[in-house]
Structure formats: C-alpha cells, structure tokens
Structure 1
C-alpha cells in the first residue's frame, strides 16, 4: 500500500479552518496532525519509505535532558525481537489449555510445536537479517525459536539502519545513552519487528534481596532468620516432603543477572543437611559466573529453592544486565524448556521500560505458558511506588499476565515454629529504596489489561499485582549464607523462590497421582481462590499496607490472594476442586479475547488496512492508552478500513465487540462522515453492524455491542471484524479507535 502524507488542498483547508474556529479539540488533533505529518514526530511513519516501531522510548526518560550525541564508533549489541504469528490463535490456545472442559486442557506444546505454529517465519528472519547486514551490522546468532536476532555493530551503523539519533544522558550521576526517537525500518518490513533491545544503556534491572544485620526476631539461624525447617512448618510444606515430594526429577530455572560463589551455597546445604549440590549454570551472551554486587540475590534464590525443594535440579541462567541480555536470557529459558518452574528476583518498574520491550518479553512468556512453564517473579520492594519516586507503579515482569507476581508479608510464628499470622510488609521509615519507604510491591499495571483469570476477582480494567505473597520483611527474614558469611535476608526476591520451590514439590506430588500439574500456574491458583475448597489454600492477609494499598478480606493489591498453605494446595488440586478454568468462579465458563494487537501497540501486526488516499491507519496522533491507535479519515472524500480475521470457538456461548472511540470534525452538525463497526463473513458480506458513529468532536468513550445472536450460527468459522469510515467533500472528519476487544465466553 502506498503511504503518503495526510494533507489538505489550500481551499479546503481554509474552508475547514472556518469551521474549526473555537473548536479546541479539532485544532489540537486534526489541524496539528496535518502540520505534524509534514515535519513532526509522525513524518517517518507517513513518508512512504519507513515504518516506525512505536514504544521504544521509556516514559521515565521524560525526566532527563539529552546532553550531546553519543560516540558513534562505540560497539552496540542488540536483540531484535520479531513478532509472533497467529497471536489470536495463540491466545485461544492458552485459554483452552487452562479450561478443564476443553480437549486441550493441559496439553502443552513442545518448543518445536510452538515454533511450527507461532514462530516468525524463516522468510521474515531472512528479510530482516539481510537488511541489517546491508547496513553494516553483524548477525551474531538467531534464536532457535526465531524470535530473537542478536546483532552487533557500531552506533553509527545502528543509527543508520533504524533512523534513530542516540544521545548521552546523565542518569542520576551515571552517563548512559538512549535514542531520541522511535526506530523505523523500510515499509516492506512493517509488522515483522516488535522491539529493538539495546538501543539504550539506561536500563539496569534491580534485585530485591535486602540484608538485615540485626533482625528483630532472630529465630534459629546462625545469625538469626527462618531456617528451612521454620519455612516448611509455617507454610505447611512438611506433608509434601514426608510423602517424598521434595522436587526429585523436577527442574527449577533461576533467572539471574549476576554470578555466585558455589562454596557459599554448599555451606548452606551442609548446614541444613539438604543433600548434595544439584545446580548447574547456563551462561548467556558471554556472561560468566563471576560473583558481583548481585551475588547476594543469586545465592539467596538458590538457597531458598533448596530449602523447600532440596531434591530439585536447579538451572542457573546468568545473562548480562541489559535489555538485550534480559531478552536473551528469558528466551533461553523458554527455548530450552527443561524447567517447568522459573524463579525471577530481578525487575524494573514498568515506566522504565518502553511498551515494545514489555510486549517482546510478553511474547516470550506466552511461549513459556503454552509449554506449561510457570514463572514466579518478585513484585518489588518499594511498595506501591516501584519506580522509587512518588508515583504509583508496578514492577516488570511481575505485571506480565503470564507471570505470577509475588508480594511480601511479615510472618509471625509461635515458639514451635507454627504459623500464627501475617501482615503486609512495609516500612515507611526505611528509605533505602525510595522516598516513600520499603514494602511489598503491588498495584495496577499501566500497560497490560486485566487477564481472564482475574475476572470477578478485581474490578480494574488492567492487570493487578501481586497474585500471591510470602514472607519478605527483613525483620522476619531468611537465614542464608551469602558473600562469605551467615546473615538474614528479606525482600520479595525471597518470596518468589519460596513459591517456586513449593510449586515444584506440588508438581511432583500431582504427577505421582497422574493428576494435572499447575502448568503455567495462574488459572490453577486463581481457581483455588474463586471456588470453595475443602481445605483453605491461602492465608488471607487482612492487616497492613504496601505504603498505599491496604490489605482487605479477599483479594487486594497489597497481598494478592494471600500466602500459601502448601499441603492444602496440593490436596485441593489433587481433588480437582478448582471450579473450572475461566477464573471468576463462573462454574466452568472461560472468557477469551480473540483480537490480536487490539491496542495497536504493535503497529500493523494482526491488521489488514486500506485507505483511498494511501495512508497508514495506525499511528500515535491521538491515543486512549499506550502510544498508538487506529486513525480513520482526516481528509475529504475519505474511505478507510481496518479489519482482522478471527476464528470463533466452536463452543462459544456469548460474544461481544468493544472499543474506545474519539472524534474530531470540521463539519457543521450534519452526519456526513461516518465510522461503522461491523462483522463480515470471509467474502466480505456484512453479518451484523455493531455501531455507526457520525462526525463529532468527542472525547474517548467506550462502544460495546453484543453480537452473540448474529454470530452463533458461525461458531467454528472465520469472520472479519471491520471498522469502515467514509466521508464526503464538504469538510474533513477524523475518527480514532483504541483498545478494541472481541470477547467470547464459552
């Protein structure tokens, strides 16, 4: 499709201007956009030669001012992420894998199956690599799942290849570089690339281990802290261990960005009689097992997993602490697919990551989920203020819908180590993390929408964390041997490996009974919460707060569903009392969202578009959320269309199309320009019209329509979801849609 600038002829522009006088919305959106299309931030997207890759500028960078151009001769290492294929079908598969009524329930894919069905094509890989080589960049390797192309080359060549300008910044006393604009690629590569990790050196992922030199409740460790026996007693792990379910023949992957000292871990194992070492290293992107400042985290993770699942094999994945290193390390865990449980204690607040980085990570976690891998990630130690400032924020990757976010509590036990109570961990007087204090992370994602398993559990439109919690207060911390000495450590980075160890023991128990394991964990854990169980699976945390959100009865944004009773969880799952796979306690109903890239953050991915004037219809002129939306018309005699083909499930019971709509117009009130949302068959014949909107100056409002009656005869078939806009020659109007969803209950 030819892409050209969206401009008006002079007479029509003057006519439109007369109508626009006094209309602030139109002046801001339509008028300013026309000027911007010539020389503003959208010029690259509309100029015909380049396709802009949106979402690479982290919102947190707005706080900083570029100093000067970076040294173009320095070498850069990039991880270029390619978009998955058939994402709507992948989402449907994930829903079916977690639905006990589906024939695909717990039928997980191998890495080879996933690549065959959803990986980028070899043709896309060859097109992208050829382009990168033509710009002087060297291809280091291509990941086995074809999602990641690792590249290195000079900054000058990177800037040329992606049409970016990279400048140095002073990041709180540290000099780092970052792009001034989103990258772009030739228009014929539109939809192939989702993210280019490594264009900046700002990101530094944090670990959440906190050493407490003088714990208030010392417990039994050599320097205080909870021992393996204490943890097993408090969280009811002993019934599993006594039955021989200690992680034998199971593998846990530990995601790490630093090395460790093996003798430290071995000292811990010997002290607590946990058996011979069962760990091995997987080094990524040239990383080495050299203990640095983050060694305390790596050793904590290994020791806590050993305390709970001493028979499990541990794979320690160590990668560089950079966006490219993080992408490659997670992808290695997923493509190896040897560990069905993954512990993550490193993270970054969402606003320090660009949307494209979050989406590329999410593609990796989706593959892991489809393979039956469960990811447990620390939710952060800055309470509800994960960016360590005064703004509410949550941590990535805990906020990803395919990762279990683990919050923090303060655990109280009696003299015999038996569980007494817990409260949410927070301390506003300790400002080592940020001005608000420290505490278990939790809150509302600013990027991911609410997943199906949280339907009926929380009412926010977006994903919330944590999902679950465990002890994290350094004052009630864990006995560990780290960096050559005994000590007591807390933080949600201790709670995450504890949950990983518990899940490993439970999986072994369920396998021994020929029962389904937790798989990718979310649906199983939430189903235990939403359906009445014979044995209570969680300790409900009802006191304390995480510096903003209070603990309440039931689910809350400070502690999630609560902390584990491992023995009860294992028995409830073995008894099959999980209430179905859809979440929300709906008696087996599963809710699935079928549109791929409905928030348009991945550009044209998933969409077919046409424009009478040859315009690209997805850009960032006006957005409801994120950095992109669908933009229709804005020129006279317009005729624009966006569509996507979806497959309706054969067991669909109800179907709804929803989207957010905004408009701007130069018309004087008559309905001359329209936008229609409709469903068509594969031949283009209209099945039903959902809504028709006339030209108007309007802020964002949600439009929703129940299409069940019209579409039930088409169950199991493909249909097209279509937005079509048309206008006359009198005055131009613009329509914007965002956050579209086609929701099916079955």
Structure 2
C-alpha cells in the first residue's frame, strides 16, 4: 500500500446519533457500499440547458473534466483494499465497496452500531480523514453512517368524519389548475425513502377520481425496492405522493425512486432521478426531510450540488417544508427549518387550511393545529444566506440569531387534515394531510405547464418572486407551537409560513406557456 498523508475532512463532521444508544462495534467483515461524490468544477454545466439532450451533454462534459479525479479515486481504492463498484461521471459519483475494517482504515474513522427505539443502524462521529491529494476534489463520502436522514411527513386522520377531505383532483380544481392538459409526455419523479404501493390501491384511487391510471414505474436505488407492508407511515407517504401527483396530472408518467432513508440513500435517489436519461423527469417531488442542522456540511453540499444540477437541467424540485410548526418538532427551545426544503435550489412547499363551499375556496389560512403540535414548517435558515431571487421579498431575520437567511417556504397549498386529501391505502379510503401533499401537488401543476410550455419550467423561483401576483398570498395565521412565541406570523407579501402564497393555476399556466423568460 502506498503511503499517503491523511488530512482531516472538516465538512464530514458528524455528532453522535441523537437519542440513540451505542450497542457495540460494527462487524469488521460486514461489506459496505459507499457513495463518493466529487466536487463540481467551474463551468462544467454551462450552456447544457440549450443542448438537444442536456443530460447527455452534461455527462460528456463531466466525463472529460473528471477523468483525472476518477483515476485518483481508483488508486485510493486500490491502496485501501476497496473496489470500485461503479462510476457515473454525470453525477460525479464513484461507488466504492469494501469491508467495515477496510473502510475504517481508509477514512480514519470508527463505525459503531446504535439502537433508537425499534431501529438499529450503523453510525460514526467526528471527522473523516482523506489523503491530502483527494481532499480538494472530494465533496462527500456517504454510506459509512446509515442513521435515518429524513422522515415521512404525511399526517393521517384516525377519526375522519364521513365526507371529510377531498380527492386530489378536486383540490387541483380549487386552485384553478388548467384543464385540457393532463401532463401527457411528461415525467414526475417521486423520491421515497421507504414503503411501497399496491397496484390495487392505485387502481381504486384513480377510478374514484374518474381518471385513467397513470403509468407508474418503480426505480430501485441502493438496493431499496417497492416494498409495501413494512411501515404504515411510509406506505401512506407513497400513496399520498402518487395519488396527488397523478390526480392532478394523470397523463404524466410517475417514476418512483425507492432508496434507503440514509444520507447516502437520499442523495443518491435525488441525484439518480435528476440525471436519469431513461425517464428524464421535468419535475421532482420530495416529501421527506429533517432539521437542516442534522446533516453534515459535506452531505448537504452533495445534495445541494444535485439540486443545482436540476436547475441547470430545467428540472423543478418541490420539497415539503415540514409539519411541526416553526420548531420542526424539536423541544430544545430553538427554531428549525427543514432540509432539503431550505436548500437555495429547492422550491419549499408550506401548508394552509382551506374552507370551501364545495365548489371553491371561501377562506384560507396558515395551517396550524397547535393542539397536536402540527402545522406548516417555515422560518429562516441558519445555514444559508438570503438567495438573490429572494432579496426583494425582504425576509425577516431569524428570530433567535437575529441574522438574515434563506426564507422557507416559497409556495404553499392545502395541507390541513380536515381539508386534506382522500386516498386509498390497503383498500381503505382515508384522509391524509401535511406539507408532503403540497410538494406532489405543485409537481403535478409543473407537469401540466410543461406539456404546453416552450421549455420546461425548471427552477422558476426567480420569476415567482419577481411576479408574486401569480400566487394568492395567505395573510392570516401563524406557525407558533401552542403556548410559545417561537414562530412567525403571516401577512402581506412573502412570509415564513406560506411563502408567496398558493397557486393561481390558470394564471401560472398562461404565464409559462407563453414564455419561460
């Protein structure tokens, strides 16, 4: 083995797993597969959006730009008894495989087993170490630690009154989604970190909406598959995502990327969907998340790079902003926003509560069910500065740090359980709410627009912030947990509860089918 000086990799720093008990060492002979992401190089994605096949153009450019980087990683693997399982230059991804013992030696870490309730996982703490010549080119090493990196956000009503909630296509109609289009020729990517779906449930749900069953394709990532029956919460999330996205855009293909609920699985799934040449999605829905501070800097950078790729490839990424108010369910007395909704390359989706007369929305406020500790997430990031597109909206400073930051969410939609989404799961009709319904709702709208638009919507937040009249602002309500002042109040303009507001479907359709400028 060649001697190579090891250096600390500061961005890999992770604390010990929270609320978990260490139960022992990870077995030395257990085999792992790791995702090593290379740092993007300046200019490597320039002008690809105008190419006939932008994904192929980006893949070719990165294949050339990262040839030497990949060669260095191959040598590193050979020096440390690791094998190169695959290389995908378009994603800047090299998959490495080896035993726990080999991985610990290669990256200067110690892997342990932890238990958290019913869940057992592998974890680490502290920084990884890398050879000095790799440090400048490696963005992240993921897969050593497989602690849960995100959780499903669907909220079920266990005591639903007869007739409560609405079928997803009805909610689309409430928001004046365009008619005469179905999303034909489009693909919506849906990220799932667990659970699965039953064909019979989807058939029943779409029959109840009097809609054709969309084409649904399961895409396995990192060994995960469509696996219903193991987790009710995850299965509910999958059913909600599919039936909402398909309910408003039944002509679109739904590509469901199933991955493990780890940092590696999450990033790998998003990266795979964005760069997928087979399905080429134009919109991506993510209903999973966790507090932004739970991620290492390196893992966030890898996710942010994937989301930035989405913007360059004109893929719109909609992400749930969370369902536990401005604290995101934490009891540490601090405000937290949810990631990846807080990424400056994501379109964060907050929640509202609607009242209707059966034909139209008659009132709409911030979704806040403080008695249950539930309601829309939202607030100001402590990790990301205010992005350029959001400057004119003048987000308030973070209440506790008094520092400016990226404001979450950007847009909103119905999320309250009493006015929630009627779906079918395991043959049973039930009503589900949460901001996890808002992400696929907006992704479905994007597919409807993309069917007629001269170019895919892509990252269209700069236009929305410049033309806020394309949305209807929500000015009443707050996202403060009961008995506290930890949160924000809605009002005119952008606010940290519902962003710019809820969709004016037809207005958005007309704006973007005329021009994407």
CA distance in 1, matches of 2:86, 2:44: 26
The alignment partner of 2:343 has SS state of coil
Asked whether the equivalents of residues 49 and 313 of structure 2 are also in contact (C-alpha less than 8 Å), the reply is no
**Correspondence for 1:383 among 297, 301, 325:** 325
Which residue number in structure 1 is paired with residue 7 of structure 2? 51
Greater CA radius of gyration, 1 or 2?
A: 1
In the alignment, structure 2 segments of 5+ residues that lack a partner are 398-403, 481-486
CA distance in 2, matches of 1:77, 1:456: 44
CA distance in 1, matches of 2:371, 2:268: 38
Q: Within the alignment, does 1:300 sit opposite 2:240 as a pair?
A: yes
Q: Within the alignment, does 1:333 sit opposite 2:273 as a pair?
A: yes
Asked whether the equivalents of residues 165 and 181 of structure 1 are also in contact (C-alpha less than 8 Å), the reply is no
Which residue number in structure 2 is paired with residue 456 of structure 1? 392
Structure 2 matches for 1:204-353, cutoff 5 A? 204-215=149-160, 219=163, 224-237=164-177, 240-241=178-179, 244-258=180-194, 259-291=196-228, 292-293=230-231, 294-337=234-277, 338-353=280-295
Q: Within the alignment, does 1:419 sit opposite 2:364 as a pair?
A: no
What is the root-mean-square deviation of aligned Cα atoms in Å? 2.5
CA distance in 1, matches of 2:284, 2:415: 19
CA shift in 2, pair 1:107/1:524, >3 Å: farther
Which residue number in structure 1 is paired with residue 37 of structure 2? 81
Asked whether the equivalents of residues 59 and 353 of structure 1 are also in contact (C-alpha less than 8 Å), the reply is no
Shift of 1:192: 1.5
CA distance in 2, matches of 1:428, 1:276: 37
Which residue number in structure 2 is paired with residue 115 of structure 1? 59
Asked whether the equivalents of residues 55 and 354 of structure 1 are also in contact (C-alpha less than 8 Å), the reply is yes
Which residue number in structure 1 is paired with residue 81 of structure 2? 136
Shift of 1:318: 1.3
Asked whether the equivalents of residues 106 and 372 of structure 1 are also in contact (C-alpha less than 8 Å), the reply is no
Which residue number in structure 1 is paired with residue 401 of structure 2? none
> Alpha-carbon deviations, 1:363-409, whole Å to 9, x = none?
11111111111100111111112253332111111111111010111
**Correspondence for 2:374 among 438, 444, 462:** 438
Which residue number in structure 1 is paired with residue 434 of structure 2? 491
CA distance in 2, matches of 1:280, 1:62: 35
Which residue number in structure 1 is paired with residue 484 of structure 2? none
Which residue number in structure 2 is paired with residue 625 of structure 1? none
CA distance in 2, matches of 1:406, 1:250: 21
In the alignment, structure 1 segments of 5+ residues that lack a partner are 1-47, 98-103, 431-436, 530-535, 582-746
CA shift in 2, pair 1:168/1:402, >3 Å: same
**Correspondence for 2:27 among 52, 56, 71:** 71
Asked whether the equivalents of residues 299 and 482 of structure 1 are also in contact (C-alpha less than 8 Å), the reply is yes
CA shift in 2, pair 1:540/1:90, >3 Å: farther
CA distance in 2, matches of 1:420, 1:372: 35
Q: Within the alignment, does 1:543 sit opposite 2:476 as a pair?
A: yes
Asked whether the equivalents of residues 144 and 335 of structure 1 are also in contact (C-alpha less than 8 Å), the reply is no
CA distance in 1, matches of 2:77, 2:514: 54
Q: Within the alignment, does 1:372 sit opposite 2:314 as a pair?
A: yes
Asked whether the equivalents of residues 53 and 194 of structure 1 are also in contact (C-alpha less than 8 Å), the reply is no
> Alpha-carbon deviations, 1:620-644, whole Å to 9, x = none?
xxxxxxxxxxxxxxxxxxxxxxxxx
CA distance in 2, matches of 1:105, 1:83: 20
Structure 2 matches for 1:718-733, cutoff 5 A? none
The alignment partner of 2:318 has SS state of strand
Shift of 1:521: 2.3
TM-score, structure 1 as length reference = 0.63
Asked whether the equivalents of residues 91 and 271 of structure 2 are also in contact (C-alpha less than 8 Å), the reply is no
Structure 2 matches for 1:477-516, cutoff 5 A? 477-511=420-454, 516=455
CA distance in 2, matches of 1:214, 1:410: 18
CA distance in 1, matches of 2:491, 2:53: 38
Which residue number in structure 2 is paired with residue 406 of structure 1? 349
CA distance in 2, matches of 1:246, 1:82: 38
Which residue number in structure 2 is paired with residue 363 of structure 1? 305
Asked whether the equivalents of residues 301 and 497 of structure 1 are also in contact (C-alpha less than 8 Å), the reply is yes
CA shift in 2, pair 1:501/1:370, >3 Å: same
The alignment partner of 2:393 has SS state of coil
**Correspondence for 2:131 among 161, 181, 186:** 186
CA distance in 2, matches of 1:65, 1:301: 33
Shift of 1:575: 5.5
> Alpha-carbon deviations, 1:497-519, whole Å to 9, x = none?
001111111222324xxxx4422
CA distance in 1, matches of 2:241, 2:127: 36
> Alpha-carbon deviations, 1:333-353, whole Å to 9, x = none?
122151111111111221211
Work out which structure has the larger RCO, using CA pairs closer than 8 Å and 6 or more positions apart in sequence.
Answer: 2
The alignment partner of 1:273 has SS state of coil
CA distance in 1, matches of 2:53, 2:13: 34
